[in-house]
Amino acid sequence: MKKIPIIRLVDVWKVYKMGDVEVEALRGINLEIYPGEFIAIQGTSGAGKSTTMHIIGCLDVPTKGKVYLDGEDISKLNENELAKIRGKKIGFVFQQFNLVPTLTAIENVALPMVFQKVPNDERLERAKILLEKVGLSKRKKHKPSELSGGELQRVAIARALANDPKLILADEPTGNLDSKTGKKILEIFTKLNEEGKTVVIVTHDKNIASYAKKIIHLKDGKIIRR
C-alpha cells in the first residue's frame, strides 16, 4: 500500500500585499513530508522558510495552490478549523520557547491537553512522563524564570509532544542557545525521530540542518535543491 504524506504542498504560492506592492514569499512550492522523516528546511533570511513553516504548520493558508494534511485538502479552511487540526496533529517548538511565565513546567506541558479536553489527572500524569522523557523530572514544579535556556527548550519540546502529534515542527529551535546546549536539543529531536516521530526543523544554519536525513534548500521563495 502506498504511503500517504502527512503534509503535501502542491504549487503553493504565498503573496503578501504591502500597500500597492505585492511580495511573493513563496513561488510554486511542491513538497511532500512522509511519516517518520526528519527534514530540515534551510535558507537565508528572506528565503521563505518561515512562510513555508506557517503553511506546513497550518498557521496560514496559501494564496494559491493546495495543501493536504493526511490526504485532506486544508487550503481553504478557516482559522477555527485550522486551530483544531494544529491542536491534534502538529506539535510546535519555537526559538523563543513561548512558555507561559506564570505556569510551572508541568503545567506548561499539560496546557495543550486542556484544549483537547483531557481529564486533569491524565494531563498531569502524561506531562510528568514527557518531562521525564526530556530529562526534566526534577524541574517539573519550576517556573520558566527558574530554568536555563536549555531547560526551557526541553519543556517546550515536552509540550509539543503533549497531544501525541504526527508532526513536530521546530523553528530555529537552538537560536537562543549556546552551541553545547543546542547540540543536546538536536539530539533529542534525533531520538524522537528514531522513535518514529516525523520531525521538520526550519533553520538558516547548515550545521543544524545536517542533523536531518533530508535537507530542503530554499531561495527567493523556491526550492532550489533537495
C-alpha cell at 61: 493558508
pLDDT at 226: 87
| Residues in the chain with pLDDT values less than 70 | 1
CA dist., res. 141 & res. 134, Å (int): 15
The number of helix segments (H) and strand segments (E) in the chain equals 7, 10
Cβ atoms within 10 Å of 226's Cβ, excluding its own? 12
**What's residue 69's pLDDT?**
92
Reference 153, options 163, 166, 139, 164; nearest CA is: 139
Contact by Cβ (8 Å): 109, 159: yes
Which pLDDT score, from 0 to 100, does residue 76 have?
A: 82
| Residue 153 pLDDT | 95
Q: Which residues contact 138 (CB under 8 A, 6 or more apart)?
A: none
Residue 164 domain-assigned?
yes
Whether 16 is in a domain gets the answer: no
Distances (CA, A) of 3 to 65, 89, 90, 104: 22, 17, 19, 40
Q: Is residue 25 part of a domain?
A: no
Is position 67 within any domain?
no
Cα dist. 17→25, 49, 57 in Å?
A: 10, 18, 22
In a domain, 137, yes or no: yes
Q: How many CB atoms lie within 10 A of CB 122?
A: 11
Take residue 151 and report the three cell numbers written for it: 531547560
Answer for the pair 106, 141: CB distance below 8 angstroms, yes or no.
yes
Contact 15, 22 (CB under 8 A): yes
Report yes or no on 22 lying in a domain.
no
Separation of alpha carbons 40 and 35, rounded Å: 15
Q: Is residue 196 part of a domain?
A: yes
First vs last C-alpha separation in the chain: 25
Q: Which domain holds residue 153?
A: 35-59+78-225
Number of domains composing the chain: 1
> For position 148, what pLDDT does the model report?
94
Residue 21 domain-assigned? Answer: no
Q: What is the CATH number of the domain that holds 144?
A: 3.40.50.300
